[in-house]
Amino acid sequence: MISSFKSKLTVTLVSAAMAALATSVAQADGTINVYNWSDYIDESVLKDFEAETGIKVNYDVFDSNEVLETKLLAGTTGYDIVVPTGSFLSRQIQAGVFQKLDKDALPNLKNMWSVVSQRTSIYDPGNAYSINYLWGTTGIGYNVEAAAKRLDGKPVDSWDIIFNPEILAKFQDCGIHMLDAPTELFPAALNHLGLDPDSHDKADLDKAAELLKTIRPYIQKFHSSEYINALANGDICLAIGWSGDVFQARDRAAEADNGVTINYIIPKEGALMWFDQMAIPTDAANTKGAHLFLDYVMRPDVIAKASNYVVYANGNKASQAYLDAEVLEDAAVYPDADTMENLYVTTPYPLKIQRVVTRAWTSVKSGQ
Amino acid sequence: MALADITTPSQETEQASVQGSGWRRSLLIAVPYIWLLVFFLAPFVIVLKISLSDVVLARPPYFPTFDISEGWQGFVAMFQAFDLENYVWLTEDTLYLKSYLSSLKIAFISTMIALVLGYPIAYALAKAPKEWRSTLLMLVILPFWTSFLIRVYAWIGILKKEGVLNYVLLWSGIIDEPLTILNTDAAIYIGIVYSYLPFMILPLYAVLEKLDYSLLEAATDLGCSPFKAFWVITLPLSVSGIWAGCFLVFIPAVGEFVIPDILGGSSTIMIGKTLWVEFFSNRDWPVASAVAILLLIMLIMPIILFQKQQEKQAEASQ
């Protein structure tokens, strides 16, 4: 009895030890660290990926390209996949931050949409280093009732609401937020002035700064993520924001049933179109796992799930069959051909001009 | 002569033990120095080195970097590439000076508010019945059990227009219109004073608790009013606690970034924020490092003053 108990115990112990060893090996082999924007995925995508591949996903979030870039430039981030915006990606590729993708490991590349790939190749020639995750526009989010009251029923359809101080002043009492992202606000101001939104000319940028200063007194806060909840709760009524973020505010308000109705528009004068690209840092520990994840995300039904959840368009043509009608048919998410004409893209600022823009932005924000 | 040269065995062991303890003593003294070297001097030298470099688009984003494989020559080449242009840059734009001054002002005012609030609290703590003190002290320390970040975020809920504070004030009829406190300087002061108040209370309490209260009794016996006794006895005797508390609040408040970022408005410039912008928005690590070095020098001055003051205190008590 005793001996059989002993041997049983030994067997149990040995198998337990072996199991522990096996899982520790699997862990080392099967973990990927993903660094993505906040409020930017349907969590079930990660769970499904884990269930299917056995690779554990550590998911971490940021809310500004600057934070991501600083981590990347410092090196050894520990991330296997990061998601910078196109113009930042382009500069980071030059700095040698990313590794080329192994396209043989990415059969789902065939699903991608040439309309988007063409534009992303401005930042990443030949899309050698990155795939498009989601894309969107930088436009105007507003509280429908508050706007109707202040504009006497006139529609919100133009940048005039933001850049004409007389109109903007009407919204001051109910709260206005603006993205804390000079690389997106300067192009909008330049576009409104009839200048090239992608201008890197100091004189042009100074003019844009002057325009931004005239509207500064009416802005309550410059912040890149707080406006989602602030719009949804009715704390503010107007924001320059990212398309999908405003839609999330709309959905949260509808869920809370608090009498707040939020809408997003791409103004008729056009808006910035941006692309968030998934890429693998050169020092990624699990390159293989990262490729598996990228390929998984490029499955039509998977990326459609993300798009349906966060209401951002994606660069995957095949996924459009899986998209909710309200996402695919909304011109503010998937712009129609006319709107598409007016959308513009920007290229990264050289270091000196970046400094001019940042300094001007500080002086817009602080009046110093 | 010869007699003097002869050392008895007992003397020998005594000498050896003195030598031994000397060796041990220097080891003991070395530990804090090694601590300083590793955790203060080494990071300082690294930041100083970056502040003398030039910005480039690479990883890491500055040049020159120290390449150990090039040995001595690489070291010399690195030194030759150093210059002070980042410090010159800081003098060319008034933004930096304004940021430093604004930070000093905010830190100073916050420290004064914390002192005025903290002193009575510490005094009451020290005067409280002995069996209560540990509980009361616990209450001062209790907030530290929650993350600093979460406590600062909680103030958004209190200070915002539809927040708790406005609700209470409106309900009680003190105000008719909700106050705008969030995203203003007032919110920054509230956040800093709230966060650092325990650092003011604890050193004050430590001093006030040890105070010899028979001195106050003597003063009363001699006809001194309690108010005057406080000014001529309690306050002067608690000066070291006041200094310690003020520095513990002032120094972190000057470099504060989180509180102004979360509670403050966009129009307040502080050096912590300016440094963040240099580092993150401009990706200019060299200029950011130069800002940090100047900030450090600015903070070291009051620390040295404090040290001097402490030494004087120690001498006086001897």
Q: Tell whether the model's pLDDT for residue A36 goes beyond 90.
A: yes
Largest CA distance in chain B: 100
* pLDDT (average), residues B250-260: 92
pLDDT at A17 over 70: no
Rounded Cα distance, A158 and B29, in Å: 70
Q: pLDDT digits over A252-270, tens only?
A: 999 999 999 999 999 999 9
Is residue A341 one of the residues assigned to a domain? no
Segment B111-125 mean pLDDT = 97
pLDDT at B75: 78
Taking the C-alpha atoms of residue B76 and residue B116, their distance in angstroms, rounded to an integer, is 54
Query: Are residues A352 and A219 part of one domain?
Result: yes
Residue A294 burial by CB count (10 A; 0-12/13-18/19+): exposed, middle or buried? buried
pLDDT, residue A19, reads 46
Question: Residue B19 corresponds to which tokens in the numbers above?
Answer: 């030598």
Mutate to test the interface with B, among A220, A355, A359, A364 (most CBs of B within 10 A): A355
Distance from CA of B226 to the nearest CA of A (A): 49
User: By the CB < 8 Å criterion, does A99 face chain B?
Assistant: no
Residues A351, A228 share a domain: yes
Q: What pLDDT does B19 receive?
A: 55
- Determine the longest span between alpha carbons in chain A, in angstroms: 92
Q: Please check whether residue A186 lies inside any domain of the structure.
A: yes
| Chain B residue with Cα closest to A180 | B266
Partners of A355 on chain B (C-beta within 8 Å) are: 282, 284
Task: Please state, in angstroms and as integers, the Cα–Cα distance from residue B63 to each residue in A11, A89, B35, B284, following that order.
Answer: 59, 21, 29, 11
Looking at the structure, tell me whether residues A104 and A71 fall in a common domain.
Answer: yes
The structure tokens listed for A86 are: 């196109």
> Counting beta carbons within 10 angstroms of the beta carbon of residue B110, is it exposed (0 to 12), middle (13 to 18) or buried (19 or more)?
buried
Find the mean pLDDT for residues B64-75. 76
Yes or no: say if A98 and A129 are a contact pair by the CB < 8 Å rule. Answer: yes
Interface size between A and B, measured as CB pairs under 8 A:
72
Which of A240, A247, A213, A217 minimizes the C-alpha distance to A331?
A247
- Mean pLDDT across A67-86: 93
Is A233 contained in some domain? yes
Q: Same structural domain for residues A235 and A359? A: yes
Q: Domains for chain B: give ranges and CATH numbers.
A: 86-317 (1.10.3720.10)
Structure tokens at A164: 């004409």
Give B40's Cβ-side CA count (13 Å radius): 8
Asked if A351 has any chain B CB less than 8 Å from its own CB, the reply is yes
pLDDT at position A29, please? 61
Q: What is the pLDDT of residues B150-196, one digit of tens each?
A: 999 999 999 988 889 999 999 999 988 888 888 889 999 999 999 99
pLDDT at B20: 57
CA distance B278 to chain A (A): 9
Of the listed ranges A196-210, A300-314, B65-79, B294-308, the least confidently predicted one is B65-79
Mean pLDDT, rounded, for A61-65:
90
Number of C-alpha atoms within 13 angstroms, CB side, residue A23?
6
User: Tokens for A314?
Assistant: 């994606």
Q: Are residues A113 and A178 in the same domain?
A: no
Q: Are residues A115 and A253 in the same domain?
A: no
Ranges of H-type helices in chain A: 2-29, 43-53, 65-74, 86-94, 114-120, 144-150, 160-163, 165-169, 182-192, 202-215, 226-233, 243-256, 287-297, 300-310, 325-328, 337-342, 351-366
Please check the confidence at residue A156 and state whether its pLDDT lies above 60. Answer: yes
pLDDT at B8: 47
More confident residue, A250 or B212: A250
**Is the pLDDT confidence value at B81 over 60?**
yes
CATH number at residue A58: 3.40.190.10
Residues A355 and A230 in one domain: yes
Q: Does residue A126 sit in the same domain as residue A65? A: yes
pLDDT score recorded for residue B132: 93
Whether B294 has a pLDDT exceeding 60, the answer reads: yes
Segment A241-261 mean pLDDT: 94
- Domain of A84, in residue numbers: 31-136+274-333
Q: Are A177 and A232 in contact (CB under 8 A)?
A: no
Q: Please check whether residue A26 touches B, CB under 8 A.
A: no
Residue A11 lies in a domain: no
| 3-state SS class at A37 | strand
pTM: 0.79
Where is pLDDT greater, at A16 or B316?
B316
**Which pLDDT value is given to residue A9?**
47
Interchain contact A229–B (C-beta under 8 A): no
pLDDT in tens, A119-153: 999 999 999 999 999 999 999 999 999 999 999 98
The string over B272-294, giving b where at least 16 C-beta atoms fall within 10 Å of a residue's C-beta and e elsewhere, is bbbbbbbbbbbbbbbbbbbbbbb
Of B58, B183, B284, the CB nearest to A95: B58
- Is residue A8 situated within a structural domain? no
Q: What is the pLDDT of residue B57?
A: 83
In a domain, A362, yes or no: yes
Give the CA dihedral A208, A335, A123, A198, nearest 10 degrees: -20
Same-domain pairing of A319 and A226: no
B308/A20: higher pLDDT: B308
Cβ-count burial B28-46 (b if 16+ within 10 Å, e if not)? eeeeeeeeeeeeeeeeeee
Interface test with B, best of A65, A72, A73, A349 (most B CBs within 10 A): A73
Contact B283 A69 (CB under 8 A): yes
Chain A: residue whose CA lies nearest to B58? A95
Of B98, B265, B283, the CB nearest to A73: B283
pLDDT of residue A31: 95
CA distance A354 to chain B (A): 6
Q: Does residue A102 lie within any of the structural domains?
A: yes
Do residues A236 and A147 make contact, with C-beta atoms less than 8 angstroms apart?
A: no
Per-residue pLDDT tens over the stretch B26-57 = 888 889 889 988 988 899 999 999 999 988 88
Among candidate residues A339, A297, A306, the one with its CA nearest the CA of residue A324: A306
Residues A352 and A224 in one domain: yes
Measure Cα distances from B267 to A118, A216, A228, A367, B221 in Å.
40, 10, 22, 7, 56
Burial of B17 (0-12, 13-18, 19+ CB in 10 A): exposed
Indicate if A84 and A181 belong to the same structural domain: no
The answer to whether residue A178 is domain-embedded is yes
Arithmetic mean of pLDDT, B49-72: 83
Q: What is the pLDDT of residue B106?
A: 96
The encoded tokens of residue B298 equal 């600015």
Which of A196-210, A224-238, B191-205 shows the lowest per-residue confidence on average (mean pLDDT)?
A224-238
The residue among A258, A356, A366 with the most chain B CBs within 10 A of its CB, best to mutate, is A366
Distance from CA of A41 to the nearest CA of B (A): 24
Q: Please give the pLDDT value at position B110.
A: 97
A44-53, A270-279, B64-73: segment of lowest average pLDDT: B64-73
Residues A46 and A183 in one domain: no
Alpha-carbon span A77 to B79, nearest angstrom: 29
Q: Give the H/E segment covering residue B74.
A: helix B71-81
ipTM above 0.85, yes or no: no
Indicate the number of domains in chain A.
Answer: 2
Mean pLDDT of all residues belonging to chain A: 90
What pLDDT is recorded for position A136? 95
Pick from B57, B60, B277: CB nearest A358: B277
CA–CA separation, B1 and A74 (whole Å): 71
Angstrom distance (rounded) from CA A50 to CA B212: 67
